[in-house]
Amino acid sequence: MVDHELLDHRLADVGIQGTVLQWLYSFLSGRGQRVALGGELSSRHSLVCGVPQGAILSPMLFNIFMRPLAQLVRSFGLGCHQYADDTQLYLLMDGHPDSAPDTLTRCLEAVAGWLRGSRLKLNPSKTEVLWLGWDDMGLGGQLPSLAGAQLVPAPSVKSLGVIFDTSLSMEAQIAAITKVAFFHLRQAKQLAPYLSHPDLATVIHATVTSRLDYCNSLYVGLPLRLTQKLQRVQNAAARLLTGSSLRDHIHPVLYQ
């Protein structure tokens, strides 16, 4: 969906001009696509938008194309984080708000307008709202709409693979991690008789340990009842890898 003509202007805005700009335009222009179905092949269709999938330059070009969106959001006083095509807006609401401030409404209208002007498709159904605050400070009124769709606060949202709830307790995240981890441990246990020790270790690290390690700095300071759930996963993985029984003391097993 990256329009080549618009991208050309935005590359110039960040200082890419002259021969380098011509190189990048040559990299994007003259491309086409066809559809193969069975033994049939469609005619070639020239592309005037999009960046080549898998090319090293493509993520950088897309980020440059989306760069003005963050600048627009911050001009309304909101915070903004972007990762690929995912954009997150942050608004600090002090006191006891009865409804979303006009700033948020005007910002969302500007975002929808910018996307239309950039020839990008906005999907309101994938937009989520998370209200972080005490229960008695919730939004008394409705949130504004986005592209005709009414926004509603969600009990939890996922950000880069991490589940955040309204109280930032991390309970939903840990519940999801432990459920998936124990599922993979059961699968690994069935494979264990047919795998060498290094191969079994690779399977466990790839499917279980990696999930425990991902963003684990978010678990610092959590109540013991939550971190113990993660510890039980690690203990089970260690026992499976070392062939230890439940009667064996876990500390030497973990050390091994």
Q: What is the average pLDDT score of the chain?
A: 88
Angle at 146 between CA 140 and CA 152, to 5 degrees: 35
Q: What is the mean pLDDT of residues 66-81?
A: 93
Domain boundaries, the chain: 4-33+50-154, 171-254
pLDDT, tens digit, 9 for 90 and up, residues 155-195: 899 998 999 998 889 999 999 999 999 999 999 999 999 99
Confidence category of residue 198, pLDDT binned at 50, 70, 90: very high
Residues in the chain: 256
Distance CA 110, CA 114 (A): 6
Residue with tokens 């910018």: 114
Spacing of C-alpha 221 from chain mean position: 24
Confidence category of residue 139, pLDDT binned at 50, 70, 90: low
Confidence category of residue 97, pLDDT binned at 50, 70, 90: low
Distance CA 22, CA 78 (A): 36
Q: Dihedral of the CA atoms 121, 123, 124, 130 (nearest 10)?
A: -120
pLDDT, tens digit, 9 for 90 and up, residues 205-256: 999 999 999 999 999 999 999 999 999 999 999 999 888 887 778 888 888 7
**pLDDT value at 69 more than 70:** yes
